[in-house]
Amino acid sequence: MDISFSQNLKTLERFDSLYQYFFRRYELEKLDIPLKAHQFTLMSIKNIDQLLDELIEQGPESEGVKDERLPYWAEIWPSSIALADFILQTSENFQGLSALELGCGAGLAGMAAALQGAEVLVSDYQSDALRLTELNWLLNLGKSPSSILLDWRQADLDQRFDLIIASDVVYEKRFFEPLIMLFEKLLNPGGKILLSEPNRKIAVDFFSELTNRGFAYEKAEMSMTSKQKLYQISIYSIYKK
Is position 60 within any domain?
Answer: yes
End-to-end Cα spacing for the chain: 50
Q: How many structural domains is the chain composed of? A: 1
Instruction: Give the pLDDT confidence score for residue 80 in this predicted structure.
Output: 95
Residues facing 124 on adjacent strands: 149
Instruction: Give the pLDDT confidence score for residue 24 in this predicted structure.
Output: 87
Instruction: Give the pLDDT confidence score for residue 48 in this predicted structure.
Output: 62
Instruction: Give the pLDDT confidence score for residue 49 in this predicted structure.
Output: 61
**Residue from 121, 241, 233 nearest 192 by CA:** 241
Check which CATH number belongs to the domain holding 80 and give it: 3.40.50.150
Q: What is the pLDDT of residues 107-135, one digit of tens each?
A: 999 999 999 999 999 999 889 999 999 99
Instruction: Give the pLDDT confidence score for residue 241 in this predicted structure.
Output: 85
Is position 1 within any domain?
Answer: no
Is position 123 within any domain?
Answer: yes
Is position 4 within any domain?
Answer: no
Is position 151 within any domain?
Answer: yes
- As a whole number of angstroms, the distance between CA 221 and CA 193 comes to 16
List per-residue pLDDT tens for the chain, 241 residues long.
455 555 688 889 999 999 999 998 888 889 999 998 899 999 988 866 665 556 556 655 545 434 555 566 778 889 999 999 999 999 899 999 999 999 999 999 999 999 999 999 999 988 999 999 999 999 999 999 999 999 887 878 889 999 999 999 998 898 899 999 999 999 999 999 999 999 999 999 999 999 999 999 999 999 887 777 888 999 999 999 8
Q: Are 205 and 123 in contact (CB under 8 A)?
A: no
Range of the domain at 139: 9-240
- As a whole number of angstroms, the distance between CA 158 and CA 165 comes to 18
Instruction: Give the pLDDT confidence score for residue 65 in this predicted structure.
Output: 39
Is position 31 within any domain?
Answer: yes
Q: What is the DSSP secondary structure assignment for residue 144, as one 8-state letter?
A: P
Instruction: Give the pLDDT confidence score for residue 73 in this predicted structure.
Output: 73
Instruction: Give the pLDDT confidence score for residue 115 in this predicted structure.
Output: 97
Is position 77 within any domain?
Answer: yes
4-30 core/surface letters (b: 16 or more CB in 10 A; e: else): eeeeeeebeebbeebbeebeeebebee
Q: Is the dihedral of CA 33, 114, 126, 200 positive or negative?
A: negative
Instruction: Give the pLDDT confidence score for residue 199 in this predicted structure.
Output: 93
Instruction: Give the pLDDT confidence score for residue 64 in this predicted structure.
Output: 47
Is position 197 within any domain?
Answer: yes
- As a whole number of angstroms, the distance between CA 226 and CA 230 comes to 7
